[in-house]
Amino acid sequence: MANNTIFRRRGDQLQSAIYEVTYRLLTTEGFNSINFARIAREAKTSRSVIYRYWETTFDLVFDTVHNRFQELEDESQKTIFDKGNLRDNLLLIGQMFMKKLNSFPMEFNRMVLYEMQNCPKRIKEMLTDARKSNLQMIDHILLIAIEKKEITKMPIEETKLALFQLIRHAIILENEPVSTKKLEALVDYIVLPAILRGAE
């Protein structure tokens, strides 16, 4: 009887249990350990429930990590920050962005690279969401910089996204951590000069 109650869970509670199990397996055992039978067993639901929402294990892992990213994003949106100047604010959002990327298992990053050819639509969706989130974050500090007369106008979108692209490239493609020293170099020699030049 207890099992029937568990199988009847609905909505957020069941989805959270599925995401929790999927994320744990991804981080501890890797993508190859994930299959719907195991997820169903450990989340105390049925495979038919999982198949109702996800066609493939990649879809489930993608949604799991996306959900985790969204939770971190919601948390960072609550953070009101101004370190006093544009440079320090760029360093701060760089650190916040690295923290988000580093919270994802490397296994997921490898999986995304592998699946770029197999699931281009899902990858494009993920990158579109990331771009939107990155623009919100950078626009916040650029508006502060305009108010303080550090810059006179907004730079073009490609310049706004440069910091995120450089960090993403280092962590995901090069599999290399971004040290404080490297982040400062990216801001001081690439991103900040580009913003100042684009806002002339």
Which residue range is the domain that position 12 belongs to? 1-53
Quick: pLDDT tens for 104-129: 766 666 666 666 666 677 777 777 88
Quick: pLDDT tens for 122-149: 777 777 888 988 999 999 999 999 999 9
Clarify whether residues 25 and 104 are in a common domain. no
Clarify whether residues 19 and 106 are in a common domain. no
More confident residue, 84 or 65: 84
What letter does residue 171 receive in the DSSP assignment? I
Q: How far apart are the first and last CA of the chain?
A: 70
Clarify whether residues 66 and 43 are in a common domain. no
Q: Using CA atoms, how far apart are residues 186 and 184, in angstroms rounded to an integer?
A: 5
Whether residue 48 has pLDDT greater than 80: yes
Clarify whether residues 91 and 39 are in a common domain. no
Q: In the prediction, which pLDDT does 74 show? A: 63
Q: How many domains does the chain have?
A: 2
CB-based contact 86:151 (threshold 8 Å)? yes
Give me 176's structure tokens: 């290399």
CB-based contact 72:103 (threshold 8 Å)? yes
Quick: pLDDT tens for 73-85: 666 655 657 889 9
CB-based contact 200:160 (threshold 8 Å)? no
Give me 47's structure tokens: 């495979």
Q: What is the CATH number of the domain that holds 163?
A: 1.10.357
